Structure 1
Amino acid sequence: MNLPANKKIVTDFFNHLNERNMKEAFALLDDDLHWWILGNIPVSGDYDLKKISFGFKMIFRAFENFQFTLKEMTAEEDRVSVVAESLGIRKSTGKQYNNHYHFLFTLQEGKIRKVKEFFDTVHALWVESPEELETEVNL
């Protein structure tokens, strides 16, 4: 797989998510996917294809107008590095979610095989939290 093709697969993945074409997005993920999310919050940890697919579906149910914007992308060997931003409104709290990410994708045979996801976990907690936790996070 060449570098432009790998970058296109990752770009297509995000485009499908943004358009809510879940079947097409998840078709770009390898059956043996390993997706790791940074941190020590409820969404942190290891995900397989089934769990991450469910996770994305829940994100799109919980947020209004949730979108990813890709900012920078670099490819080398079998990896694609992406700096991205998300924007959406949490339905339950009305808070604007505007997070920043670094994703490191590893591709194999035209599929996304591994992902390491880094983002602002404090902001993620803030958008979920009751108002009293909001005060604690800002201290």
Structure 2
Amino acid sequence: MSNKTDYKAIVKQFFADLNAGKVDEVVSVYAEDGAVETMGNTLISGEFKGPELTKALTSIYDIFPKGLRFTVHGMIAEGEKVAVEATSAGEHISGQDYENQYHFLFEFDQGKLRRLREYMDTEQVTDVICRGQRRPFGAGAD
């Protein structure tokens, strides 16, 4: 058996830690210059790294005080990339139920997460998380 890094196991633990609210453990998977990029043109879209990454992850628990539960439905790994199909469910601070569907692309470099790209139903994000507020089309994340 090869001594290659088991990236699928790292991703499974990533979601277990995310579901448990273990922000420090989730952040520790990232490379020093690692980033998460949330796709779309929503108020929460953009690239986050360093201190912004910790703040972005912590904010999940601010708006989902009972947690946001991710369920992985499929995972494919090739080399240092892992593609994940997942769903989430939780109760937003407003009392609204939130459910979304995702595709995540994890890109590793020497065992550390270099970039995580998050694709989801942006209408769900806008309707529940952003409470219907929209960024003007074409306006990038600051």
TM-score (norm 2): 0.84
1:129 Cα deviation from its structure 2 partner? 5.2
Partner in structure 1 of residue 137 of structure 2? none
Check if 1:24 corresponds to 2:25: yes
Contact 2:21 2:67 in 1 (8 A): no
Matched pairs, number: 130
Q: Which of 76, 82, 85 does residue 83 from structure 1 map onto?
A: 85
The percent identity for this pair of structures is 31
Partners of 1:69 and 1:51 in 2: how far apart?
Answer: 25
Partners of 1:126 and 1:115 in 2: how far apart?
Answer: 24
1:108 Cα deviation from its structure 2 partner? 1.1
Aligned partner letter, 1:80: V
CA-based RMSD = 1.8
Unmatched tracts of structure 2, length 5 or more:
134-142
SS in 1 for 2:9: helix
Partner in structure 2 of residue 121 of structure 1? 122
Question: Runs of 4 or more off by more than 2 Å in structure 1?
Answer: none
Check if 1:108 corresponds to 2:95: no
Contact 1:90 1:97 in 2 (8 A): yes
Contact 1:29 1:49 in 2 (8 A): no
Partner in structure 1 of residue 73 of structure 2? 71
SS in 2 for 1:7: helix
